[in-house]
Structure formats: C-alpha cells, structure tokens
Structure 1
Amino acid sequence: MSALVSLHPGDCLKVLDTFPDDHFDGVVTDPPYHLQSIVDRFGNPDAAPARVGRDGGNARASQKFQGQTWDGGDISFRPETWAKVLRVLKPGGYLAAFNHSRKFHRMAVALEDAGLEFREMLAWVYGSGLPQNHPVWRYLEKLGCSQEEIQTWEGWGTVLRPCLEPIALVRKPLSESSIARQCLATGTGAINLAATAIPNLDKPRKSDLDPIPTRYPGNLLHDGSPEVLARFPVADNGLSASRFFYCAKASKADRRGSEHPTVKPQALMEWLIKLIVPAGARILDPFGGSGSTGWAAANLGVHCDLIEQKPEYQADILRGISDLQNQEDVPDVSDPAPHALLGQASLFPPEN
C-alpha cells in the first residue's frame, strides 16, 4: 500500500474500535447526508413496500440520495458514531465534516453531544445545484383538477435550489491548560492560518521572488461558477472580490475514474487538511467514499487512513493507492475552472 494512504475495509463503527486512543491529528470526512424524503414512510424494515407510481418517483425516493442506499439510516446523526471518532482523535485535534444544508443541524448536534467543541461552520457555495422540486400545478393536472385550480397553484413548489454545502469544524477538548501548551504537547489545538491564507492580488510584489501577499482566510468558499461570481462586487480595479474564496467543483481529474456521486474537489480537500494539520501528520476519514481525502492528503505529505464499507468504492480507493505507488509525484488536480474571472486566484497560489 501507499506509505501515505491506507484503506481499512469494513463498517467504520467496528474499524474505529481497532485504533488506539489519541491516534489521529485530525479528521476530514464527507459522511452520508441522509437526505430522506419518503424513506420514513417506506424505508423502515417493518414498513409496507413503496408503490412505484406512474413515474417511479416513490421507488427512487425510497432509495435515498441519487438511488444510493448507503445514504439512508442515521449514522451521521448518532452521537455514538462521533464518540468513537473522538476517542481516536488527539486532544485539541480538529474534525471537518460535510453535510447538506437541510440536515446539517442533525449532524452538528450529534458532534456536540459526542463531546466535540463546535468551532465554526464553513460554507462551500456553488451555482450548479439541482433542485428536486415537486411542482404543484403539474400534479394537479394529473389529479384532473380544473384549469382554474391549476393556475392558482402555478409557480408553487417544495424546495429551493441548493447552493450551499456546510462544513462543520469541531475540536476535541484540550487536555492541557492552554492552547499553547496543547500545541507543544501533542501538536494539535490550533488551525494553520498562514497555510490557508487567501492570495491577495491587489498588493503588487516588487519582484517574483517576493511571497504572494495574502488575506486572512475566511469561512466562505465557492466554486467559481458564473451564478456565484455575479453575486460578488467588482472593485475599482476591475477585479471581483470572489477571487478570495475560489475553489472549483470536482473535475474529471479529481474523480480519478470513480463513479461515486459526491466526489469533492482536491483543492477544497487540500485546503481543509492544511487548515487543521501540518505535513507529516496523520488524519482519518471514517467514510472514505471515492478516496478524495486520501489523495489530497498524499499531495500534502500527510498520512491518511480511509475506512470504507462498500466494495465498489474500496476498489476505487485501491486503484488510487496503486496509482500513488506507481508514480514519483502526485499530479496537481486543483487547477481553476476555465470560467474563472480574469485575475481570479484559486485557494492555492503558485509556489515561489
């Protein structure tokens, strides 16, 4: 296996019990979002089977997010899940976990109930979200309602277009009397502001040898899509403020051939890892999925343990590990999107 990335196949609740206490410097993970619609009605073991209906919508919805059964259940919402993660995380260690805007609160409460300290909510904003809307007027037509009734409800629906994905940033309580003492004792307790600072292109450099000026990192990131860019003001110099928060959505290179439906962009995963741990540290992803956390960690010289239960995603991860073994350098797959604004910088400035 790669010296930097290790796969632990199996149920994360069981695999977590095999790690020693206070083992990991940080955790970065993208757990199931549990986006249930009619799952509560048809998805329980004792419930009647879902009726397919004319368009098959009930059958699809009862299979959770994008037809994936792994997104059902409530593992992300259980304090005992995160208590197991808490045990293997070093005191002062940070955990960053994605979730959906509609279900984020359930995970956030579970994290706190497990004993983790809530430090911040980060927002990854994008313009290409697809709403799973239920247009009322269209279904009134199917019910045979009058034109007057249909027109009354024209334009009414059930959901907004998703444009924001929240990320919980939490910390295991300190075991030392101060953050400074914790940093000295375990190398954890603080976040790396310098490594995650945003490039500031407004300040000119005297030469190319000078370091790129930076702005203090914020809790907002976005994908660079035109819909998002249009919401940011443009300064007198013609540059948009959006360039300080830019992180493109997952590209083909980010996916590495994986069919996983929720692959995260490498630039975003690298930014999160750099925020919470230094090079040489060891992180955990208890919901390995496509392996995005592992590949980002390898790019940064960070060790990563991935836990994954599904055989098809285990195969993706093993293929990626094999790729890492067969190349001297991990490729950079965090290039900006082609529709980026002129002068827009990604989260990672060029090295100097």
Structure 2
Amino acid sequence: MTPYYADEAVTLHHGDALDVLRTLPDASVDAVVTDPPYGLADHHPRVIATALAAWLAGDRDHVPDGKGFMGRNWDRFVPPPALWDECWRVLKPGGHLLAFAAPRTADLMGMSARLAGFEIRDGIDWVFASGFPKGQDIGKAIDRMRAEDRPAVLRITAYLAEARRRVGVTHKAIDDAFGFNGMAVHWTTQKRAACVPTVEQWERLRGLLGFDNEMDAEVARLNGRKGEVGKNFAAREVVGSRHAGLGAGSSSVFLRGAAGVDERGHVAITAPASDAAKRWHGWNTSLKPAREPIIVARKSTGFNTTAANVLEHGTGALNIDACRTTAGQDYRNKCASVVGLDSNRNGDAYGECAREDSAHPDGRWPTNVVFGHDCPDQCRPGCPVGELGETARFFPVFRYEAKATSAERPRVNGVAHPTVKPLDLMRWLVRLVTPTAGTVLEPFAGSGTTAEACALEGLHCIAVEREADYLPLITARLTKALQPALDLGAVA
C-alpha cells in the first residue's frame, strides 16, 4: 500500500484502520499506542448486549449504529475485536498495547481487546485539571421544567392511552412503526416521564390509532413551547456571578454572546425558586471530567519468560526508569483533581501536595516522606533511591498533564481535531512501552500527536487516519516537529 506521507520517522496511511492493518506483516511492530474512538453514543444496554453477543458469535467487526462525541459517526462505538485482532497479529510477542478510553466506556474497550487475545496488564490514568463540567444542574433543571404545562401533557397522554386501548395496538407496535425503543410508553403514561409527541409524530400516530382532531390545537401549542423555560426559572433570584471561562490551562474561551453570559464574560448565579428545586439544589448528573484511563495490555503469548522474550524480541517489559516522576517535573499545586493523595499508600503521589506514606521499589514502606526533603533522611537505612532524585521513586501509575494547549492543536484550512492529546503525555507513553529505535503503530492518528511523539523520541511510527480532513493536520504537525533537525543538518 502506498503511504500518504513517509519519512525516516513516520509512515502515514490514509484509509480505514482495519483495511490498512491487514496489509502489515505479522509481528512487525514493537508497540501499539493509540487514541481510538471512545464510543460515547448513548446506547441502550440492550444495544451493548447485542454487540457483545455478536462479537462472541464471531461477528467481530460488528458496530452498532449511532453518533458519538460531537455527533461524529466515527465515535459511535469502541473499536470492535476485529481491529484489535489485527493489532495483536502485527505486534511482536510481548508487545504492549496502550489504548486511551473514556471512564464510561473503558469496560467495553477492554473487553473488545480481551476478545482479540490481549492480556489486560494494568491501567494508567491521565489526570488533568482543566476539564469543564458538562453535567446537568438538577435544581436548575427542575425550575426549567414547565410545571404549568403538566396538566395539559397528562390530558394528551391519557387521550393517546385510551386511543391505543380502543384499537388494541401494543406499545411495541407503535415503537416498531417509528423505529423507537420504549418511546410509546412516554406518550401514553401518567407518570413523571410523560411527554407530548411532535406535530409530525402526532399525525403518524393518528394513522395508527385513528383518533380525531380534538387535541390537535393543544399538541401544537405545547410543541410551540418547547425550548422555553418554565415560569419558576424566570423567578430565580440572582445572588452573584462567576466567570464563564473554562478554567486555568484552557484556551481562555469565555463564551461571550452565549445565552446568560454578559459582555464581561460573566454568568449569573441564581437561587432555586421552587420547593422541588430547593430540595435538589447542588445535585448534578456527573462528575467534573478530570481523568481518562489508559488500558495497558500485552500480547502475552509466544514466549515463556519476559526476560527471554526481551532478549529475543526486545518487547514484553516496561521502561520504568525512562518514565519515573522526576524532580524536574513540577506538579506542585496541580493535584486537586486526585482524591486521596494524603497517606494513601499507593505509591502514585507526586508534587508538594501532602505528606505521603508511599511504596518503594524495594517493597518497604518509608514513613511520612515529605517532598522537598532528601529521601535518605526520611527512609529506613539502606534506601536505594536517593541518587535517582527526590521524586524518582514513583512508578507511572498516573500522569498529570494539562490538556493540549492551542499551540498543540493544529488548524489547517479551518479544520481542527476535537480530541487532541498533549504531546508530552504521548512522548512519555511511547517511551514506556517501546524499545530504542522501535516501531509504534497508531491506528487512529487523529491530528498526529502520537506520530510527532515518536519522531521526537527517535522511534518509527506507522500511523493510519481514515478522515481525509485530518491528513493536512498530521503533515503540518510532522513538518513542524522535524524542522529543527532539518535546520541543524543544513548548518552542519
């Protein structure tokens, strides 16, 4: 297959990852480091169960329909086992897979890789503090509800329930007619989930249930109110304001001009109006995004011991010393998004955030190691890690790295990628699992961060990207990354 772009460090292919990987030789790459689609579509559990059943039955490339992150079709589900089958095949024995995932779909990502033969060895958390809360404020949501419309809504659902009963049409038959799964119950219930069909759906329901035009005007009126907030929301008292920015480390997006944001970039803080909203004030639907798990898996077949495999293939082990937390990495004041750093005895703390009881590589437990002090003064006699630096004793359990800055988000012809990973994070990851001068496979190149990381670390990267719009982003990134080396060569 002719690559889209190639130099000494990177070979970039344009095409579907599964198609391209099938052209690569067996056992030809040392590691797979990838940022695959997270599959954030809101699939019903039955859809997920159907996908798992299909995979187990041998339909290994089954992917449900839907749209995921920002409505993107490519993010409708996690990669199926067929993709990981090919990753497993092209990896050398003992080769590692590092795959990013979302907290809510990491179980599916891991299962898909397991079904391809990967052994899940561990996990790393990418921790960041700049995630913007995306949950729903329950108190506000209650006040937004048009409680004054509730009696009219229940009259319409009662009317539809009677029409359905009269002609003997089941809820399933209604759902099947619309291609829905459970919507008919919402149109005919008197419970909290009752809702009014759209005008178009109302007309289609008339054809199924044969009702008259008695409720037509009310259905049209309620549909005309969709998007409006309830009177309780308008009655909320303004008690303060806050900045609408996305927080430190972000690209200073202030959302000026958005609804509720003034010319200073401030948004009003309001107090709940209704009794129900007061009851649920301070409740939300999700946590603040602050971590993404990285699955650590290995092709654990074809060898007897890791030591022998390293000598034969150069793969199977993790380069811990090249990825320790060192004194040069300043994590001070950046640990707020990690719960339980104080005396958690898990060996994954860093920075001057708290006193730690942390695990040493030799298995002993130092007492209250305080960052900024020399390790030998704090540990038992014979502590072996003093010469490695005050924080170098820590293994890579999690990695704090702020989200990619605007400088790391290339834009070409008005196109930018929505899910760019930080370059330093990707350099750290490829170092962890790839032998010197080894080859890394990235089946989902995106904007090319993994490819650039490999180039800067002296590794070779085979990258694949399906979306043509992103190819110029990758080549622009690589040209910029390699330019200093080219300039030095010209001077020499």
TM exceeds 0.5?
A: yes
1:69 is displaced (CA, Å) by 3.1
Cα distance in structure 1, aligned partners of 2:446 and 2:113: 20
1:6 is displaced (CA, Å) by 1.2
Q: How many residues align?
A: 292
Aligned counterpart, 1:313: 470
Secondary structure of 1:131's counterpart equals coil
Cα distance in structure 1, aligned partners of 2:463 and 2:275: 57
User: What are the ranges of 5 or more consecutive residues in structure 2 without an aligned counterpart?
Assistant: 1-5, 48-65, 148-231, 233-273, 342-352, 356-369, 375-389
Aligned counterpart, 2:172: none
Aligned counterpart, 2:154: none
Secondary structure of 2:289's counterpart equals coil
Contact 1:174 1:189 in 2 (8 A): no
Q: 1:1-352 to 2 correspondence within 5 Å?
A: 1-37=6-42, 63-75=67-79, 78-145=80-147, 147-200=274-327, 225=334, 227-228=336-337, 232-233=353-354, 235=370, 237=372, 246-257=400-411, 259-324=416-481, 326-328=483-485
Deviations 1:305-349 (A, max 9, x none): 110011111121122333355442699xxxxxxxxxxxxxxxxxx
Secondary structure of 2:27's counterpart equals coil
Secondary structure of 2:440's counterpart equals strand
Letter in 2 for 1:35: L
Contact 1:222 1:247 in 2 (8 A): no
Contact 2:136 2:285 in 1 (8 A): yes
Cα distance change, pair 285–187 in 1 and its aligned pair in 2 (3 A): same
Answer with 8-17 or 310-319: which moved more: 310-319
Contact 1:224 1:248 in 2 (8 A): no
Deviations 1:16-51 (A, max 9, x none): 1110111100010000111123x659x9xxxxxxxx
Cα distance change, pair 171–236 in 1 and its aligned pair in 2 (3 A): closer
1:242 is displaced (CA, Å) by 11
Cα distance change, pair 132–63 in 1 and its aligned pair in 2 (3 A): farther
Contact 1:27 1:283 in 2 (8 A): yes
Secondary structure of 1:159's counterpart equals coil
Secondary structure of 1:26's counterpart equals strand
Aligned counterpart, 2:156: none
Cα distance in structure 2, aligned partners of 1:21 and 1:281: 15
* Greater percentage in helix: 2
Secondary structure of 1:199's counterpart equals coil
Cα distance in structure 1, aligned partners of 2:332 and 2:103: 17
Contact 2:331 2:400 in 1 (8 A): yes
1:114 is displaced (CA, Å) by 1.0
Deviations 1:272-303 (A, max 9, x none): 11111123111100000010000000001100
Deviations 1:119-176 (A, max 9, x none): 1100111111122212233233333337223322322321111111110111102312
Cα distance in structure 2, aligned partners of 1:330 and 1:121: 39
Letter in 1 for 2:88: L
Cα distance in structure 1, aligned partners of 2:312 and 2:35: 29
Higher-Rg structure is 2
User: What are the ranges of 5 or more consecutive residues in structure 1 without an aligned counterpart?
Assistant: 44-61, 202-213, 215-220, 332-352
Cα distance change, pair 324–237 in 1 and its aligned pair in 2 (3 A): closer
Cα distance change, pair 196–325 in 1 and its aligned pair in 2 (3 A): closer
Cα distance in structure 2, aligned partners of 1:20 and 1:302: 18
Cα distance change, pair 149–253 in 1 and its aligned pair in 2 (3 A): closer
Secondary structure of 1:141's counterpart equals helix
Deviations 1:170-208 (A, max 9, x none): 11023122112211221111111222222247xxxxxxx
Cα distance in structure 2, aligned partners of 1:2 and 1:181: 33
Cα distance in structure 1, aligned partners of 2:294 and 2:487: 26
Secondary structure of 2:485's counterpart equals coil
Answer with 138-147 or 79-88: which moved more: 138-147
Answer with 279-288 or 187-196: which moved more: 187-196
* CA-atom RMSD in angstroms: 3.3
Cα distance in structure 1, aligned partners of 2:71 and 2:431: 33
Cα distance in structure 2, aligned partners of 1:223 and 1:276: 27
Contact 1:86 1:114 in 2 (8 A): yes
Contact 1:29 1:97 in 2 (8 A): yes
Contact 2:27 2:91 in 1 (8 A): yes
Secondary structure of 1:227's counterpart equals coil
